[in-house]
Structure formats: C-alpha cells, structure tokens
Structure 1
Amino acid sequence: MDMPKLLFIHQDDRLFWTHRRPLARAAVEAGWEVHLAGPDTGWASRLEAPGMVVHHLPLERTISPLRMHRGRRALRRFLAEFRPDIAQAINLRTILYAGPELVRAQVPCVHMVAGLGMIWKWGGFWVRHKLKRLFLAGAQAGQAGTPKVRVQFQNPSDQEAFLRAEILQKEQCSLLAGAGVDLEEFFPQPFPKGELAILFAGRLLQSKGVARLVQASQELRKEGLPHKLYLAGERDSANPDSISARRLAAWQAAGHIELLGFRADMPEVLANVHALCLPTTYPEGVPKILLEAAACGRPAITTEQAGCSHAVLHGETGLLIPSHDPTALKAALRRILNDQVFRRRAGKAARKHAEQNFDATKVATTALKDFEKIYPILAKDSQSKYNSKHSQAGNAHESN
C-alpha cells in the first residue's frame, strides 16, 4: 500500500523549521509521506529530508487582495494535482487563507491554532463569521463522506473562545502542550560567570512587552543593579505592531540592549544568560521560547495570560506577573537578578517541568493520534514502531 500523504500548509518556512520539525519527523517515522507547502524565504533547504518533500507556493502573509488571490489560485491548482490524503494549515491566519481551498478540494483536515494572534482581536466578527462558515462547510462535506475536520489548540483558553463563538463542537477539538521541546537539543548547562544577563527572544513587537522590559532594565541599572539585556529576534515588517528600527537603534546606541537578531542556535544563547523574560500581552498559544528556556534549566519571567501560565509555574520554575504592569515586571527582574539561590532552584525545577510536560516526542505522538482519527487507514504498526522507538529513549543530559 502506498504511504498516505500528509500536507502541512504554512506561510513562514522559518517558523515551521523552529516549531514544527518534531511533528514532521514523527509523521515520517510513523509511516506518513510528508509534504510541506508554502513560501520559500530561504529556509526550505533546511526542511528537506528523507520522507519530506518541500513545495514552494506563493502563500505570503499579505493584506493585498491581488497577492492573496494569486496564492489561493496556486494552492487550488496544487491541491487538484497533488491530492493529499490529509492536511494541516498552521496558525489561524493560514487556516483562513487556505481553509476554503481545502474544503473545495475535499481534503480532510487537522488544523493547528497556535495562539489566536492579533487577527482574532482585530478581525472581530468578520473572523469569527468566516471561521464558522469554513468549519460548517467542512462538517457538512464530512457528512457526505469527505472531509472531516479537527482543530488542535495549545491552551484551553483558545479552545474555549472557539466553543463560545460556536465555531466548533467540543468533539472536534484537542489540546496539545504547545509545540513541545527537544529535550536532547535543549539541555541544562552551568550558569555563566560574570555579569548577569537577561534574555528576551521573539518577534520584536510592542505587544510582546519589549519596550516595558527595556524600560524596567534601564531603571534597575540606575538603581545600581548592573546586568546585560539581550534581545534575540527581528522586527516583523508586515506587522504594524513592530518596534521601529529607529527605536531599536537608539536603544542599542545608548547601551540599553544588545541586539542579537534571529538566532538558530538558541541552546547556546540560553547557555549564556541567567534568565528569560517574556512580558507578553500578545494572544499566545504556548510560547516555545518558554519551553526552550525551561529545558535549558533557565528560570523565566512572563505574564499570567493563557499559554504562558501553562509553561511557567509561579514561584517554582519562574515568576508570573500581571499583564501591562511595569511595577510587577521590575520587581520580578529585581528578584531574579538578586536571588542566586532562587535562580538555581527554579532552573532545576523548570527542567523537570519540561521533561514531565513538554517533551516534543510525546507531543508529536499525541498530535499524530488526531490525524489517525480522521485517516485511520495508516497501519497501526507504524505508530507502534514510532512509540516503541521513543519510549525507550532516555534524556541524554542531566540537570545541573
């Protein structure tokens, strides 16, 4: 029997590389023929691997009606020729973009909502109405035979938002522990010697709390608490919420920050800092950087909002603060910087929390079960082989 074809549709190949590789690899090992479709921004070659095929489609993130129409038309032609057995559109924007073409092509789907994002907030009724129509069309097609539709969420709050809006039925939903983290790639190392260092990693957006973090850091230095503040990430030029390039340059010139840009070597970056700080108010899923920091034995400061509060246990693996609260942010930073005993204890607890709840292989196993509910033809021994291989794998590194 030919291997069933699983298609991942994305609008950012770099994001797929950083967040979805474990699931793609697990699908290959479980017996799927994996295909990735989306724009090539220079990362496609890294995604090519045995069992995985990369297709370049012009599905750019854009608000231009002409470019969106061109992308949908290319996807429609591709689906007609390729005919996948099952597909996943990754992130809410991509679901809205590609979902109608998947319904038209009668492709069963297990979509991924990795946080609601600003499109949910800004789109309001229009977004909810479009999603309701999309999933109703998918469900009606399923009653006739194809397709069936499920949606994976990364935190209960996002799932509840869909249920309250009557976009989905509960039996169509499932919860995952974020994207998980590779516990062998991300492992604890000794805290660095020398000046204390705090890391922010992510898109450089206002809603990620970057400006509040820089301000709190400046104030603590003035109070006699020296430290470095690293920003790892880039501006998102397609997002009006981005920190301006001029502002970033001014911060750097004044010595308030050290701008690292995008880094593919996050284990090394985390090894050279004492804690992570993500004071986000953005509608997150489960921020992967929080899982990576935990796996590396680094405590984290983040907000109490959904997704973040699942990744960080207040007072145990880090500190949770209210959103939009600069006083609480400053106090949390002060504690992390001043309390070496807490840093070390929280770092060890964070690694244990990651091992117990965010192992990427376990997350992938759970995710694949959703695909098999819709496409059960896949031989069971393929999944059993994958489970057996990874259930015996111990952690290669111990906490410090």
Structure 2
Amino acid sequence: MSRIVILAHEAESLINFRGELIKVLSQNGYDVIAMAPEQDYRNKVEEQLGVKYESINLDNTGMNPLKDLATIYDINKKLRYYKPDIIFSYAIKPVIYGGLAAKFCNVEKIHSLIPGAGQVFLSKNLTTKIISQLYKIGTKNNDTIFFQNPDDQKLFNDYNIININTDTYLVNGSGVKTDYYYNTEPKTDKISFLLMARLIRPKGIIEYIKAAEKINKKKDDIEFKLLGPFHSNPSALTETEIYKWHDNGTINYLGVKEDVRPTIENTSVFVLPSYYREGVPRSILEAMSMGKPIITTDSPGCRETVIDGHNGFLIPPKDIIALKNAMDKFIKKPNLIQEMGQKSRKIALEKYDVHKVNQFMIEKMGLE
C-alpha cells in the first residue's frame, strides 16, 4: 500500500478544504497521514476523515529563521519515520519546507498546491524576493504544482520560480460540496448583504463598512452582515473597531459560526471586496453553491468566480463608490437577486463541484 502525507498549515483546513480529497485517496487504497501544526486536532481529524493525524512544529505567521529551521527538522523527522511514497503540501510554509524535507528524505513523488499567493506578493520588496527564492528552492524537486488561478501561475513564472521539469496545472479552487451547500430561495423581502472572511484589512472589510455607511444614510431597512474570526495577522482589525461599527448599527457582526449555511441562506447577496491575492475564495464558492449573487473585486482569484453582469458584479479593488453602486443595483432591482443567484448555482455545479476538482487533481498526480 502506497503512503501519502498531506501537509497543511492549519488542521481545520484539512477538514474544510481537503477533507473530500483525503477521503477519496483513502478509499482508493492509499495510507494517508495528515499533518498540521495544531496538537489538539488529532481526535477531530481522525474521527471525521478516518486517517492518522500527526502534529508538526510550524509557525504560520512568523519569519524567524531559527523557528523555520526547527520546522524543517521536525517535518524531516516525521517523514523519515513514516517513509511516505508521496507528499502533497499546500500553503507557503508547507510547500517550501515540506518540499525541502521531502527531498532530504528521498520521497518519490512531491506535489504542491498554491492556494493563493497571499499578502507577500501584494508589493515588491525584500520580503517578496526572499519568499520567491524560498519557493524556488522548496519546489525545485516538485513533480506537480497546482494553481487556483492564472494570475498566480503567471506570477510564479515571472519570478522564475518553477523548475522546467515540474508540471503545472490550473485547478478550479478547492471546490465546494454542492449537495452540502444546497440551493436556496432568494431573499428579497428584506435585502441583506454578507461578508464572510477572516477579519483582516486586505479582505476589503473597511471598504465594505464604508460603503454600508453611505447606503445606511438613505436606507434603514438594509442589513450588512459580517461573519468571521479575529486574527493575529498584523493587518487584522481589532475587536474595538468591529464592535464600534456593530454597536452604531452600520454592520451586524455575527461572530464565528461552525455551520455558515443558515447565515448564507438568509442573505440576499454575498460580498467579498478582497484585494488579498486569493486562490479562489472558498466563501464565494459556498455562497454561489447556495444560489447567491456575488459582488467581488476584479483581482486574482476573485475574478474567476464572477462573470460581470451575469452572476454578480466585479468592482475595482479598494473602490468604495463602486462597491456602494454595485450593492445599490440589488437594492433598486431586487429581481436581480434571483436571476443572478440561479446563475451562480449553475456555475458552482458545472465548474466548482468538489468531486470534479478532486478528480482532476488525482488524475494529474497519477493517484487513480
């Protein structure tokens, strides 16, 4: 039996983003070992996915060289112990340090997924140069690299990161379980908007709130919902900031919910004005699968989900007026909510169904 290690930056993502892939690989006869930093997720991962879980020493946000050397050492130690035939890594540090450790341990097949280039490539600076060189070193021996949008694929080519012997493919995001995220009826009796994301500034949260303030001056019967966790990222918004806007009625902050489906179902339009370098935002795919029209930015990853004027609207990043005008279109013409929402559902079924996405990746990795 061939053994495959799935190396992640967060244990929760193993369940939410790679759960179906892991289940299929296990069903196909592979001995799957899931690895991520959190120690207290063992029972949850093993019970829900039916595979072994191993915690690793990995700091997601820091750039401490000593800690990163400890990460490489720990991954190397785990790989030498489990002796996998294949490794599949995703997110910055797992891809870089997992790729290095896999080479040291003579892992036969090395595959990576780039789920969005992230904040580091938003501007060109010393950090960008360092990360691009680390990516180049870490992916040098990759057999396959998957990208979730053509902008990131071009970015890696422009930075000369990709080895000439590595196969690269575009994949339609992480996919979405279209049966779990079921189709819903349009909500036009009271129009509401929902932004669902980590509470960091590049997700466009400030722009969303400022646009809501402009609309709220004219309309008291429109609701602007915000759902998502606070974060340790340097660009994170504070609880004081969020609750100030919540308390004055600009937004309705809903906190964090394990099951987001009821919130999406009771929303008219989904909004993500992100200027983060996304892969393909999972939150948008969930909303599309549930039949919601989308307002998002014409930026990497986000633009892949919307045909402007068909299942929603694309707006320029950081453009508060354009965002306000897009939301106004749904307020003035509520019939667009149903029309565009149905088209979102159709796109989700045809393009982003998780089983189609996983099958494509399995074929390209030769894991059928």
- Once the two structures are overlaid, the 10-residue window that deviates more, 122-131 or 300-309, is 122-131
CA-CA distance at 1:81 after TM superposition? 0.8
Deviations 1:231-281 (A, max 9, x none): 1111221x1111122211211221222222232212222111111100000
Distance 1:17 1:26, change over 3 A: same
Residue type at the aligned position of 2:101:
E
Structure 1 unmatched ranges of 5 or more: 139-147, 373-377, 384-400
Structure 2 partner of 1:18: 16
Figure out how many residues of one structure are paired with residues of the other and give that number. Answer: 361
Residue type at the aligned position of 1:222:
K
Which of 258, 261, 285 aligns to 1:267? It is: 261
- Once the two structures are overlaid, the 10-residue window that deviates more, 356-365 or 252-261, is 252-261
Deviations 1:300-324 (A, max 9, x none): 1000112211111111111111112
| Percentage of pairs with the same residue | 24
Structure 1 partner of 2:309: 315
CA-CA distance at 1:192 after TM superposition? 4.0
Structure 2 partner of 1:290: 284
Distance 1:150 1:118, change over 3 A: same
Q: TM-score, normalised by structure 1?
A: 0.86
For the aligned residue pairs, the C-alpha RMSD in angstroms reads: 1.8
**CA contact 1:93–1:119 (8 Å) conserved in 2:** no
Deviations 1:191-225 (A, max 9, x none): 34653211101111111100110111111010225
Structure 2 partner of 1:92: 92
Structure 1: how far apart are the matches of 2:324 and 2:197?
A: 20
CA-CA distance at 1:150 after TM superposition? 1.2
Structure 1: how far apart are the matches of 2:6 and 2:364?
A: 14
Q: Counterpart of 2:139 in 1: which secondary structure?
A: helix
Deviations 1:41-94 (A, max 9, x none): 654433224641111122231333443333322212111111111111111232
Matching of residue 241 in structure 1 with residue 235 in structure 2: yes
Q: Counterpart of 1:316 in 2: which secondary structure?
A: coil
Structure 1: how far apart are the matches of 2:199 and 2:346?
A: 29
Structure 2 partner of 1:109: 110
Distance 1:41 1:83, change over 3 A: closer
Which structure carries more relative contact order (alpha carbon 8 Å, separation 6+)?
1
Structure 2 partner of 1:166: 160
Q: Counterpart of 1:311 in 2: which secondary structure?
A: coil
Structure 2 partner of 1:63: 63
CA-CA distance at 1:357 after TM superposition? 0.4
**CA contact 1:59–1:68 (8 Å) conserved in 2:** yes
Structure 2 partner of 1:126: 130
**CA contact 2:188–2:334 (8 Å) conserved in 1:** no
Distance 1:152 1:323, change over 3 A: same
Matching of residue 352 in structure 1 with residue 346 in structure 2: yes
Structure 1: how far apart are the matches of 2:198 and 2:106?
A: 35
Distance 1:76 1:171, change over 3 A: closer
CA-CA distance at 1:18 after TM superposition? 1.8
**CA contact 1:163–1:170 (8 Å) conserved in 2:** no
Distance 1:224 1:91, change over 3 A: same
Structure 2 partner of 1:186: 181
Q: TM-score, normalised by structure 2?
A: 0.93
**CA contact 1:14–1:41 (8 Å) conserved in 2:** no
Structure 2: how far apart are the matches of 1:36 and 1:207?
A: 30
**CA contact 2:186–2:341 (8 Å) conserved in 1:** no
Structure 2 partner of 1:135: 139
**CA contact 2:198–2:230 (8 Å) conserved in 1:** yes
CA-CA distance at 1:291 after TM superposition? 0.9
